[in-house]
Amino acid sequence: MNNSQKGANLKEKLKQALSSTYKVISDNIENNEKIEKNQSSKKFEFFEFDNLNTKSDFIKARAETDSSALKKKFSNEEIYKKNLPSNTSCKSLYSIAEKIRYEALGTQMLKGINKNLKDNYNQIINFKRKDQLKTKEDVSIVEAFELYMLKKFHNIELNSLTNKMLDFWKNDFETSVGKHIDYLKSNLENQNNYSSKFSEILKKMDIFQNEDDETKEENQEDGQNNPSNDDQQSESEDKKDQNKEQETQASLDSDYDIDEYKLDEQLVDTDSDKQSNEQVIQKKDLNNLNLDYKIFTNQFDEITKAENLESFDESVKLRKTLDQQLIGFQDVITKLANKLQRQLLAKQNRAWEFDLEEGLLDSSKLPRIIMDPYNSLSFKKEKDLDFKDTVVTLLIDNSGSMRGRPITIAAICADILSRTLERCSVKVEILGFTTKNWKGGQSRELWNKYLKPKTPGRLNDLRHIIYKGADTHWRQAKNNLGLMLKEGLLKENIDGEAILWAYNRIKKRKEERKILMVISDGAPVDDSTLSVNSGDFLEKHLKKMVKFIENKSEIEILAIGIGHDVSRYYDKAIKITDVNELGDVMISQLSSLFDTKKKFH
């Protein structure tokens, strides 16, 4: 018998052993019979047998079989969903807490299960590699929380690296979860008590408060009166997109919420049947555009206010750095600001029609009457100006290639425009987009865990940043703009989803004129996503989103490419070769927009 035959026989024996183990632990005879009917299959429910080539693979296979069987035995899906928090980040921690609960029950049940799980978690810990761990930003809360729970409930010993990872978040967990550990351990067998307590703990955690506020604010703006229907729709959409392996994940890791990337279900401001029909058509068109754009998971995505990314002291320090950069541009800044302000105020100043037969008396013509009483009185009337209430969104690429002078100039120009436009009663929102990690982050880790299904779609954790809301005064948000200079913030850029996010925000605004300006340095790039999808996957989605906004919405969009021609994506696009040109180009482009009015198709 050659080595390949021996390997095949070994895998077959392992398959039978795992099948029997699953049956015994889960008490699920029906599922076991289904497995036995498909013994010829290379797939077990949790992994592919062709991937079992090393000792670590076998350790993982045993542990994951045990864990899945324990979930079947001890985890009730209805109870899980009943206590599931609404906050996206809370959901991730909640799912980890539930997994730890039913695995802890298993370790009490059989020593073999305890050994299998510990061996697997130990090798996961030993395989972790982090290039740099300087700040809290370098370690995700989900990753740190799993380490905390393993230490508390499974008595897993952490190595020096994972101890350092946990240390960044340890105080947060001890303050919120630590005091409830005894209660949670005493209620491992009562899933409802355990999960409801954990949901309550997560909702009260300070680190999630701002995210909750933002979610509530956006939900209120959406006018969503029936969240349960949205959840059902989201769940239905997810099931269509996920393969069999991901369906196994769904009840444990929670179906990800894709509402942020869809148009509102409830249409607002429908003053006429025509307007209502236009909005229905927009909604259908935009949803159709997303049909061939896959997202492996967005449970790790983040929409955050800039002030949550750094401490107040560090924000002040970064703002001072930005102010120092502003000194060298002071003359240019004054010139540009005055130019735009004069143009806007000229449009807003009162204008009059003179020499009318009725209206307000024109006092400037009274001397003429005095000199010649036979001259008739002269009247004037104020003209109606076509300057509409306006809001401008600046969407700034926060990718690694913007590091250095480009992002500094972008931050300076955002600062100038915000101050200048506010003086002219034009509201400004400043947004940024990047990813939370290099190389795919937790999304890729999850993809690896579920055996790397082909063409998974977007495979990285998004980070969308609100530097300044449209209704926030510049003085309140000025420190946030310095955060663009934060070391380690700039990573990958997935433009299509960022534009859709910015579009969904600005379309809810009540202003009559809505302008979206994108500042980027080229094509969307995310190595993790592009390595497992077609090379134009992100680029195609970007083009579709931009064309939709240009042709089928009332929002005006333009782009400025820094060092790259972005006209292949945007009809209105300007390329600059020197970042010193950015401020002048931004203002001249805005000025030209204010001189023209978009024709809505």
Strands 379-382, 427-435: parallel, antiparallel or unpaired by DSSP?
unpaired
Written as six digits, the tokens of 32 are: 């076991």
Residue 341 backbone phi and psi in degrees, to 5: -65, -40
Asked whether residue 66 carries a pLDDT value surpassing 60, the answer given is yes
Asked whether residue 294 carries a pLDDT value surpassing 50, the answer given is yes
Residues 113 and 107 sit within 8 Å (Cβ to Cβ): yes
Highest mean pLDDT among 95-99, 388-392, 414-418, 596-600: 95-99
Average pLDDT over residues 7-12: 66
Within 28-166, strands assigned E span: none
pLDDT score at 250: 38
Written as six digits, the tokens of 535 are: 């090379």
Q: Where is pLDDT greater, at 262 or 560?
A: 560
Distance of alpha carbon 178 from alpha carbon 239, whole angstroms? 36
Per-residue pLDDT tens digits for 26-63: 775 444 444 444 444 444 444 455 556 677 778 888 88
pLDDT score at 262: 35
Distance of alpha carbon 164 from alpha carbon 138, whole angstroms? 11
HSE-up (13 A, CA, CB side) for residue 123? 14
Reported residue count of the chain is 601
- Percent of the chain past pLDDT 70, that is, above it, reads 66
Asked whether residue 579 carries a pLDDT value surpassing 80, the answer given is no
Q: How confident is the model at residue 267 (pLDDT cuts 50, 70, 90)?
A: very low
Q: How confident is the model at residue 531 (pLDDT cuts 50, 70, 90)?
A: very high
- Percent of the chain past pLDDT 90, that is, above it, reads 33
Q: H/E element holding 354?
A: strand 352-356
pLDDT score at 57: 76
Residue labelled with tokens 């370098």: 138
Domains in the chain: boundaries: 75-211, 302-342+386-563+581-595, 348-382
Distance of alpha carbon 141 from alpha carbon 166, whole angstroms? 9
Q: Which of 108, 109, 17, 107 is nearest to 65 (CA)?
A: 17
* Full-model pTM: 0.52
207 secondary structure, DSSP code: G
Q: How confident is the model at residue 220 (pLDDT cuts 50, 70, 90)?
A: very low
CATH architecture group of domain 302-342+386-563+581-595: 3-Layer(aba) Sandwich (3.40)
pLDDT score at 526: 94
Q: H/E element holding 167?
A: helix 160-176
The torsion defined by the Cα of 220, 226, 229 and 233, in degrees rounded to 10, comes to -20
Q: H/E element holding 518?
A: strand 513-520
Average pLDDT over residues 327-354: 64
Q: Which of 67, 77, 58 is nearest to 13 (CA)?
A: 58
Asked whether residue 178 carries a pLDDT value surpassing 70, the answer given is yes
Asked whether residue 199 carries a pLDDT value surpassing 80, the answer given is yes
Average pLDDT over residues 341-361: 63
3-state secondary structure of 514: strand
Q: How confident is the model at residue 190 (pLDDT cuts 50, 70, 90)?
A: very high
pLDDT score at 50: 52
pLDDT score at 203: 85
pLDDT score at 239: 44
Distance of alpha carbon 151 from alpha carbon 159, whole angstroms? 11
Q: Which of 557, 545, 593, 495 is nearest to 282 (CA)?
A: 545
Highest mean pLDDT among 25-34, 160-169, 434-443, 591-600: 434-443
pLDDT score at 580: 66
pLDDT score at 18: 75
pLDDT score at 395: 97
pLDDT score at 355: 72
Residue 146 backbone phi and psi in degrees, to 5: -60, -40
Per-residue pLDDT tens digits for 297-328: 999 999 999 999 999 899 999 999 998 887 76
Residues 17 and 61 sit within 8 Å (Cβ to Cβ): no
What amino acid occupies position 409? I
The CA angle 16-19-24, to the nearest 5 degrees, is 125
Per-residue pLDDT tens digits for 80-111: 999 998 876 688 889 899 999 999 999 888 88
